[in-house]
């Protein structure tokens, strides 16, 4: 569970929930099915419409697969893919012409092609867009997309009105964002989200909700021997996505969870050893505490 866990095995998402194209996922021999969210040079990014919830701290993994094919497809198509060998990267990569487009029967003003194209063109990173639904009663689209800062798996919600011209809604963070820090000029790593108190708007109901979570410290203590080498703790730079950090406090703890009062020696050196870095952050929507183990050399 150390740092960003890259899920290399392609997970078959076969569920019975309805999707935005008005169909239901049924068990089949397809290797992968989902919406196309990107197209480039004869290959298409197929993203599962069913995120996998792993735990309350970093719960969302979304299966995604780059598919090279001679078929002509488009962003917003819902497809089933039958593939052989798959390159175990994230997203995975494969080549096949065994692709079936599942027709849409939605009675909506906007098409999935228009919605996904608009969202994808406004994302800075690979467009991992999932959980796409159309609510015919409320005349709205709801979806989640992946924020890719330091490769984390945070999903952000969005509500889009079913009208033209299409206008994207504001991002909705249903839990605190992942927090990364720079250990040098080139390398960034994410911290464990240990606990939080968070207020957010449910994208389906529009209601305000409160979420509380705490990961037992024992889960983090187990990683004490896998510490991150850190040379200059006073120059730690915290980074998140487009949520503003209102206030932050960084505290270093020893193995017994006692606060290290003096992190810099009088001669300007650092006490060699392994410590916990405890970061408390205040956002507009609530507070979050992040932790990880670091090592001074």
The whole-number average pLDDT for the span 181-204 is 81
Q: Do β-strands 92-95 and 64-68 pair in parallel, antiparallel, or remain unpaired?
A: parallel
Q: Which of 173, 164, 180 is nearest to 211 (CA)?
A: 173
pTM above 0.85, yes or no: no
Rounded to whole angstroms, how far apart are CA atoms 66 and 56?
28
Distance CA 116, CA 139 (A): 16
Is the CB of residue 168 less than 8 Å from the CB of residue 48?
Answer: no
Determine the pLDDT at residue 240: 80
Banded model confidence at residue 190, pLDDT cuts 50, 70, 90: confident
> Where does residue 33 rank: exposed (0-12), middle (13-18), buried (19+ CB within 10 A)?
buried
pLDDT at 95: 94
pLDDT at residue 17 greater than cutoff 50 = no
Q: Is the pLDDT of residue 217 over 80?
A: no
* Residue with the larger pLDDT of the pair 51 and 8: 51
pLDDT digits (tens, 9 = 90+) for 74-125: 999 999 999 888 988 889 999 999 999 999 889 999 999 999 999 999 988 8
- What is the per-residue pLDDT for 4? 34
The least confident of 40-49, 135-144, 199-208 is: 199-208
Between 28 and 63, whose confidence is greater?
Answer: 63
* Terminal Cα distance for the chain, rounded: 24
Percentage of residues in the chain with pLDDT exceeding 90? 42
Q: Which two tokens stand for residue 224?
A: 């004490």
Does 21 score more than 70 pLDDT? no
pLDDT at residue 14 is higher than 50: no
Long-range contacts of residues 163-172, Cβ cutoff 8 Å, at least 24 apart:
163/109, 163/110, 163/139, 164/109, 164/110, 166/110, 166/114, 166/115, 166/118, 168/118, 168/119, 168/122, 171/242, 172/200, 172/201, 172/203
Altogether, the residues listed in the chain come to a count of: 297
Q: What is the mean pLDDT of residues 274-282?
A: 88
Contact 96, 87 (CB under 8 A): no
Confidence of residue 193 (pLDDT cuts 50, 70, 90): confident
Mean pLDDT over 174-180 rounds to 85
Are 144 and 157 within 8 A, CB to CB?
Answer: yes
Neighbour order of strands in the sheet with 99-102: 92-95, 64-68, 43-47, 32-40, 78-81, 99-102
């Amino acid at each position: 569970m150390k740092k960003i866990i890259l899920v290399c095995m392609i997970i078959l998402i076969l569920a019975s929930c309805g999707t935005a194209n008005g169909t239901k996922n049924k068990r089949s021999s397809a290797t992968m099915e989902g919406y196309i969210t990107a197209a480039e040079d004869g290959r298409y990014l197929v993203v599962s419409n069913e995120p996998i919830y792993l735990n309350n701290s970093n719960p969302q993994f979304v299966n995604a697969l780059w598919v090279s094919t001679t078929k002509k497809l488009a962003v917003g198509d819902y497809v089933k893919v039958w593939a052989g060998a798959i390159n175990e990267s994230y997203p995975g990569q494969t080549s096949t012409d065994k692709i079936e487009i599942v027709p849409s029967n939605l009675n909506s003003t906007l098409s999935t092609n228009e919605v996904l194209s608009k969202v994808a063109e406004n994302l800075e990173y690979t467009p991992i867009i999932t959980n796409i639904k159309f609510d015919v009663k409320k005349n709205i689209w709801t979806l989640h997309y992946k924020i890719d800062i330091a490769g984390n798996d945070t999903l952000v919600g969005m509500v889009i009105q079913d009208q033209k011209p299409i206008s994207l809604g504001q991002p909705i963070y249903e839990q605190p964002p992942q927090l990364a820090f720079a250990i040098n000029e080139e390398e960034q790593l994410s911290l464990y989200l240990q606990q939080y108190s968070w207020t957010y708007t449910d994208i389906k109901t529009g209601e305000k909700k409160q979420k509380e979570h705490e990961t037992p410290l024992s889960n983090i203590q187990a990683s004490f021997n896998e510490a991150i080498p850190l040379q200059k703790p006073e120059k730690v730079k915290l980074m998140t996505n487009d949520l503003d950090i209102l206030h932050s406090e960084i505290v270093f703890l020893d193995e017994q969870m006692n606060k290290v009062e003096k992190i810099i020696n009088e001669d300007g050196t650092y006490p060699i050893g392994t410590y916990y870095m405890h970061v408390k952050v205040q956002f507009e929507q609530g507070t979050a505490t992040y932790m990880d183990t670091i090592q001074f050399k």
